[in-house]
Amino acid sequence: GAVVSQHPSWVICKSGTSVKIECRSLDFQATTMFWYRQFPKQSLMLMATSNEGSKATYEQGVEKDKFLINHASLTLSTLTVTSAHPEDSSFYICSARVLTGHSNQPQHFGDGTRLSIL
Amino acid sequence: GQQLNQSPQSMFIQEGEDVSMNCTSSSIFNTWLWYKQDPGEGPVLLIALYKAGELTSNGRLTAQFGITRKDSFLNISASIPSDVGIYFCAGRGGNEKLTFGTGTRLTIIP
């Protein structure tokens, strides 16, 4: 089945540090990947849609200069949290949809990255 | 952002019991998906529904896409300990984005 790998799985760093999270589709190509944020005991909230070869589309209220997204290939998207602060501490999860001519393909999720800013 | 109304919020059941949860929306969706999330992990797809009225099973799990396209339910029969976790519904509209439900936390009492 479709596998999405996310790295790292856990990051602890000091306030002001920039953190990069990678999302890879291991056995399929994905023109579109999605980045979500999940706070404790809450649901997943879409942050942005990552499009291969073009700019990401951000949801309302998500700062594009704070959360930099790069989707340079059909199998890799990266999310960089710039100058992270404690309020950015959260569980970040990416997903990807299999690229086919058929529109009915579900999103497959990575295992998430837990970001803790001290 | 928008979230779907999912109920119940939590369930405490005994092993072997059946489970039922549902999701409702004020918006129409083209696809309904059900995911399970274990602590510290990403959601895992359980069932995908693509047509209004569709009833689909995956082992002990059964889900239906509501006729109005604004709701869906998930049933789990004869629950086992590994069913413990948080279940999320998700609706997908024409823009390919997923809107997630608020989640149902399932706990099995020994």
Distances (CA, A) of B50 to A44, A106, B32, B92, B95: 21, 10, 7, 10, 15
Integer Cα distance of B107 and B98 in angstroms: 26
Of B43, B99, B102, the CB nearest to A109: B43
| Contacting residues of A for B48, CB less than 8 Å apart | 104, 106
B44's CB contacts (< 8 A; 6+ apart) are A109, B35, B36, B37, B38
Check A43 against B88: CB less than 8 A apart. Answer: yes
Check B100 against A45: CB less than 8 A apart. Answer: yes
CB of A107 within 8 Å of any CB in chain B? yes
Given a cut of 90, whether residue A53 has pLDDT beyond it is no
Residue A28, number of CB atoms within 10 A of its CB? 18
Check B50 against A6: CB less than 8 A apart. Answer: no
pLDDT in tens, B59-93: 999 999 999 999 999 999 999 999 999 999 999 98
Q: Which residue has the higher pLDDT, B53 or B3?
A: B53
Distances (CA, A) of A57 to A80, A83, A85, B39: 15, 21, 23, 29
| Contacting residues of A for B42, CB less than 8 Å apart | 4, 6, 93, 95, 109-112
Of A43, A59, A111, the CB nearest to B103: A43
Distance from the A60 Cα atom to the nearest Cα atom in chain B, whole angstroms: 8
Q: Tell me the mean pLDDT in the region A33-39.
A: 95
Owner of token pair 């439900």 = B101
Mean pLDDT taken over chain B: 94
Given a cut of 60, whether residue B54 has pLDDT beyond it is yes
pLDDT at A27: 85
A35, A70 Cβ separation under 8 angstroms: no
Owner of token pair 């709701």 = B71
| Contacting residues of B for A104, CB less than 8 Å apart | 31, 48, 50
pLDDT confidence bin for A33, thresholds 50/70/90: very high
Helix or strand or coil: residue A84? coil
- Partnered with residue B4 across adjacent β-strands are B101
Integer Cα distance of A14 and A12 in angstroms: 7
B34, B74 Cβ separation under 8 angstroms: yes
Distance from the A15 Cα atom to the nearest Cα atom in chain B, whole angstroms: 23
pLDDT at A54: 86
Q: Which tokens hold the place of B81?
A: 């300990």
Residue A112, number of CB atoms within 10 A of its CB? 23
pLDDT at A102: 56
pLDDT at A51: 86
In single-letter form, the type of residue at position B93 comes to G
Can you say whether the dihedral through the CA atoms of B53, B54, B56, B61 is positive or negative?
negative
What percent of chain A has pLDDT above 70? 93
Q: Which tokens hold the place of A66?
A: 């704070």
Check B102 against A43: CB less than 8 A apart. Answer: yes
